[in-house]
Structure 1
């Protein structure tokens, strides 16, 4: 592996990029409460050759997951962790994301008439269990038993919720299933592939690029019909998103590896910025070139969607790198900082919010939820969630996996 000047190198722009992306994620996830949302902001339908803002946010988040992987793993190696311990940590994080994702996607398929409790009570219990299990508890030896007990209580709560769960058709309910694993589950699978790839390739840029291109080409081959001979195993063993989602993660990994290989040379900062811009152009061109064949679709994870979203992600990261790390302009992001450092907490808070509102039958007037005013309402909601995340972090409540 090529040595890097410091394995603890850090880019503040990654946290800012993550915070802005989470702000947008909460914003677009709140659209279900609105009416008359402009079409260019919403998710496009599977059969459409189109892409809205909502279709860009998740790929950008996966790209940021990839950006973070080299720094996180290298920091663990600096602390003395070997590959076995690192892989164990990767497996634990993947398990946590998959478990949360499966519970959340099953909540979305719940058959409330068949349940013994309200679906919203079930939802609150689910999120409470997540906090009990994955909260960052203080390093206090005197209270180790207490914190272990709280984690066990969280797992028991999840087990109880799973036991009473009824989903699908209320007349013929079914039990919990993996379905499509939910957003967190998709992140988990993509993170697993990206992290294990980096463990193997490290900061060897050539191998990282080969792995990245493999996922992009796998997706292209799927749409071109070159993988039809594997249809019999597709339901059992397959790459998540037909290669699309790990392609986003590996795009971020490659960007960070490029930075890490030249970070000890101040003169290389401009070259790194130019590299990001050029990669964005190449990927955007790839998306434009493949669009006539299969169109742009997030739901179908078409090659054009991958190329264009990767291009946007590279350009966005280039902008934040230039603004935050080169120009040192970052104070504007202080208000949304918790979204970049306590991302999982930030993501889960709305589930509690929506459940409490539903149980209390709280509903804003239609005028506040319609058109431009509705968008302002969702933007304010996003900021409120982030501020609430910061507040509960300060009292010692913060999830980490």
Structure 2
């Protein structure tokens, strides 16, 4: 396993920042009439791709890009594989749990003891209290008090949860893993594969191909006997999420391999060739496995989005790591360094805004005006994450 990987790479941080910014933007624009269709998600029955359909795959790809750097940093600090394994599992479980809670927000009942707005605010505040990366100079007693308050608040909100309908009420239950839950599952499996393969490129490529094949076979119907059990195999998303993350792993380690062998120019050949292969494969299987569809995790969607991610990373790598143009994205950089904070801030803003009963001006509710409003909102969330980061309020798991 190479020990030359840098702990932080500008291209990855900036790629993550742009992706997080776009994730906030496309989530906010959902349901606004009169905006260009190519920005939004393609319909569930549509054979096509919108900007919103590319954002989540890009984030999973970036998770894969980041795994080698994070694990190498821990190995360089002398941590054992056992300790790193514990870190990977705990981090994954936290992401899965937060995703599970977010999924339950979607089925929250109007007849619950407290309104959804209050419940959402309290749950999000508990996440902050528990998982803030408290500065080292903070008193341990204060940290224990704040984290204990967060745990108590979270337990109370779990106890008060009520979902379903008045006729068929439910408590916290599984419907789907949520965005963060899917990321957690993909991270868990891919990080463990990287750690215990010692970053061996052949093993990582084999894992990537295996996830692609699993996704293909699932849609062709050959693995129907696994229906309903793939989640227990860590393959939530029918292998698609792991395929995106493992592709990032492969690209990150491939780049390191070319650099160690003093063949930096060949990385561009590899990126272009892989993208061309994946684009062609994606359009070929499009006609046999449900078209291009994010809603159905189709192989065509997986392959085409992976090709786009690879090319996009090549662009970021060229301008950020080689041309040193980080200042181009300085305005949204906090989205790449305080990513989880940035993701969770809207879960505070939306319910607080709904409680004020202040409506948006008419021009901001549709069309170009709505588009501008969503862009401004994304900038606002990133700016707030930056302010909190400077005040040492940053979520870290």
TM-score (norm 2): 0.96
The answer to whether the Cα contact below 8 Å between 2:186 and 2:234 also exists between their aligned partners in 1 is no
The answer to whether the Cα contact below 8 Å between 1:110 and 1:119 also exists between their aligned partners in 2 is yes
Q: 1:20 to 1:46 in 2, by over 3 A?
A: same
Q: Deviations over 1:37-96 (max 9, x none)?
A: 222111122222111111100000000000000010011011111110001000110111
Task: Say yes or no: does 1:191 pair with 2:187.
Answer: yes
Partner Cα separation in structure 2 for residue 232 and residue 23 of structure 1: 33
The residue that corresponds to 2:48 in the other structure is 50
1:1-400 correspondence runs (5 A): 1=1, 3-4=2-3, 6-8=4-6, 10-32=8-30, 34-112=32-110, 114-140=111-137, 143-231=139-227, 233-234=229-230, 237=233, 239-264=235-260, 268-293=263-288, 294-400=290-396
Partner Cα separation in structure 2 for residue 235 and residue 144 of structure 1: 38
> Cα RMSD over matched residues?
1.6
Q: Match of 2:42, SS? A: coil
Q: Deviations over 1:283-324 (max 9, x none)?
A: 111111110112011111000000000000001000100111
Q: Match of 2:68, SS? A: helix
Partner Cα separation in structure 2 for residue 366 and residue 121 of structure 1: 27
Q: CA deviation at 1:188?
A: 0.5
The answer to whether the Cα contact below 8 Å between 1:273 and 1:321 also exists between their aligned partners in 2 is no
Q: Match of 2:135, SS? A: coil
Structure 1 spans left out of the alignment, 5+ residues: none
Partner Cα separation in structure 2 for residue 236 and residue 205 of structure 1: 26
Q: Match of 1:110, SS? A: coil
Q: CA deviation at 1:236?
A: 5.3
Partner Cα separation in structure 2 for residue 64 and residue 236 of structure 1: 24
The answer to whether the Cα contact below 8 Å between 1:66 and 1:253 also exists between their aligned partners in 2 is yes
TM-score (norm 1): 0.95
Q: 1:85 to 1:234 in 2, by over 3 A?
A: closer
Q: CA deviation at 1:34?
A: 2.4
Q: CA deviation at 1:264?
A: 4.1
Q: Match of 2:176, SS? A: coil
Q: CA deviation at 1:234?
A: 4.8
Q: Deviations over 1:261-284 (max 9, x none)?
A: 23346x533221231222111111
